[in-house]
Structure 1
Amino acid sequence: NHDDKCELLLNEMALCEIAADRYSNNYHAWTHRLWCLHQGMQINQKQFLIRELNWSHAWIQKHVSDYSGFFYRQQVLSCLSEYLQVENDDFVFDWFSSVDKAFNELCSSQQICSTVDAPLPLKLIFNELNLNSQMVGDFEAHEALWYHRRFNLYLFKKYLPAAYDREFSSNSEFGHTREGVPSEKNKKIESLGAQLRSGLISYENLFLKQYKSGKIDAATEKYSSRHQQWLTRCFQLNTLSS
């Protein structure tokens, strides 16, 4: 039955944790844990995803240099983002209340309209970026944190409203009336996308400014410079301060 299967999978995951803790970057342990996650998602998707999101957060706090743990968390975030696109039951919203609160605080700090109705996956990603910012500040000179940040920015781009991101809207007639005038729905989506993208630029600006003071270690300064170059190259965020 389902309870027996869940117990078996959780036992396997516990063994994976022991193996990953004993040997850093343990490919076999993390691959098996990911397989267990996908099996568990077939039984109770939201239970396993939220459990692993919480577990992986605790793990990366203790193993900051082990990128395998970050990669696993990225798979969890990807699966959860897809889940949040289609599910809106009460359980999700009860669990998501803390993330929603953090997103609203972030909107306020970046002067984004507090009533902005962002998709749930984007709220999750913004929250993860905020957690990453805290970890970069707490743990100096850990390149894995900067790579993890880039992954989250890729997720942000993926879930940014398509009408604003022109890469996802190559058809010039998308969201327009027969007369070629943008539809009201498309105007709202574009406005939302513009606000969120502007907020992201401001957020990354403030984040990077912390590491331009000359009072940081050489490694962190190097990672910060590379991150700014990467943002300009991959996201055309040319308004970032030098």
Structure 2
Amino acid sequence: MSATNESLCQRILHDLNVIFKRDPQILEFDIIPIEDSVSNKSPVIHVDHRLGLESWCVRHLYQYIYHKFVDLRTANNRIGHDQINEWTRTLLLLNPDLTTVWSARKELIENGFIKVLTELRFSEVLLTRKPKSADNFAHRQWLLKYFMKSETLSDELITNELRVTLDTSSRYHRNYHSWSHRIWIIENLFNNSLDKLNCELMITKCWLESHVSDYSCYQYRQYLFQYIHKHFISITDNNSGVVSNEVKSNYHKLLKQELKLLNDLLVLYTDQESLFIHRRFILVSIDQWFANESTQLKESEKIFIKQQLSLSHSNNTSNQWHFILINRHIKYINCKLNWNLDIT
């Protein structure tokens, strides 16, 4: 790298470090598509807790810091924590999928140089640019587990973590890593709280209504229904007590509410296959866990299908696809539930 470029990278690195020191409440980061540099003007932009970097300098900066970092790791040279923090922070801003760099930051945390809450905030900034970073979510899980070794997680911190997953899911639709992280939160931080699980169903229902095509959310809700059944219905069944009947009743109500939600959404969004697939899961769940309702469920599904067919009677492409979805749905439930529906 030329002396000019090296001097430029050092100046950019210095500007970034100054901003992080002066503004610990940075909310977002992104690369701004500006291909040509302007003389005597820093490519680092900082406005209202938002941080940006002009794209023309990214390649030079990344190569400069990456080579410095690799040389440090391979030669096992001793260098100050400040320098490692600055290099790794900038590398992750440019590329958050560097596992070795995340490992270096874990070492800084274990050595007490970076606080866990500070690192969680930095990780969230990175997610605003790369909301589907598996390494970032894995790092957040490590941070939370490390924090729990010495302190108790507050409800506020757990709530914030749930908020982060919805934010990343909104930024990148069908974000598998984001919803998987939310499942990890339930399994590790919820302590089998039925109230919190019911709250999750309510929160994600509101989110789903504005993200109807995001099938990852449907899969997450299916996980919630299965989790509740496994950890509460099956267990209380062994006791055959009043609590079991109450939990069963509430669980049955949740499934019926989900079916009603799908009824309403399928009137507005007739061409969304995700809605039909999720509906099949709910139908199978009700039929499997509340077998005494099979006949009533079958009749109500006949009414639903007839309503859907009436909506599909058109020659436009969208409704032709709708008709295909209806027929797929009929074939599936006939095969899975042995209902032998004959809709004419």
In structure 1, what is the Cα distance between the partners aligned to 2:297 and 2:195? Answer: 30
Amino acid at match of 2:301: E
In the alignment, structure 1 segments of 5+ residues that lack a partner are: 97-117, 162-192
Q: Is the 8 A contact 2:330 2:341 kept in 1?
A: no
Once the two structures are superposed, the pairs formed by residues 4-19 of structure 1 within 5 Å of their partners are 4-19=153-168
Once the two structures are superposed, the pairs formed by residues 1-242 of structure 1 within 5 Å of their partners are 4-42=153-191, 45-82=193-230, 85=233, 86=236, 119-161=249-291, 193=292, 196-213=293-310, 214-215=312-313, 217-242=319-344
Amino acid at match of 1:52: E
Structure 2 residue matching 1:215: 3-state secondary structure = coil
In structure 2, what is the Cα distance between the partners aligned to 1:124 and 1:17? Answer: 22
Q: Deviations over 1:150-171 (max 9, x none)?
A: 111221233134xxxxxxxxxx
In the alignment, structure 2 segments of 5+ residues that lack a partner are: 1-147
Q: Deviations over 1:107-139 (max 9, x none)?
A: xxxxxxxxxxx8543332222112111111122
Q: Is the 8 A contact 1:140 1:220 kept in 2?
A: yes
Q: Is the 8 A contact 1:65 1:142 kept in 2?
A: yes
- When residues 135 and 88 of structure 1 are mapped into structure 2, their CA distance, relative to the original with a 3 A threshold, is farther
TM-score, scaled to structure 2: 0.49
| Count of matched residue positions in the alignment of Structure 1 and Structure 2 | 183
Q: Deviations over 1:11-35 (max 9, x none)?
A: 1111111111100111111110111
In structure 2, what is the Cα distance between the partners aligned to 1:208 and 1:218? Answer: 15
Displacement of 1:48: 1.6
- When residues 231 and 57 of structure 1 are mapped into structure 2, their CA distance, relative to the original with a 3 A threshold, is same
Structure 2 residue matching 1:212: 3-state secondary structure = helix
Over the matched positions of the two proteins, sequence identity in percent amounts to 26
Q: Is the 8 A contact 1:56 1:69 kept in 2?
A: yes
Q: Highest CA radius of gyration, 1 or 2? A: 2
Q: Is the 8 A contact 1:27 1:68 kept in 2?
A: yes
- What's the counterpart of residue 114 of structure 1? none
- When residues 160 and 71 of structure 1 are mapped into structure 2, their CA distance, relative to the original with a 3 A threshold, is same
In structure 1, what is the Cα distance between the partners aligned to 2:272 and 2:299? Answer: 23
Q: Deviations over 1:196-240 (max 9, x none)?
A: 111011011000001223535112111111101111111111144
Amino acid at match of 1:150: R
Aligned residues: CA RMSD: 2.6
- When residues 138 and 83 of structure 1 are mapped into structure 2, their CA distance, relative to the original with a 3 A threshold, is farther
- What's the counterpart of residue 109 of structure 2? none
In structure 2, what is the Cα distance between the partners aligned to 1:22 and 1:239? Answer: 41
Displacement of 1:10: 1.6
Q: Is the 8 A contact 1:231 1:237 kept in 2?
A: yes
- When residues 88 and 55 of structure 1 are mapped into structure 2, their CA distance, relative to the original with a 3 A threshold, is farther
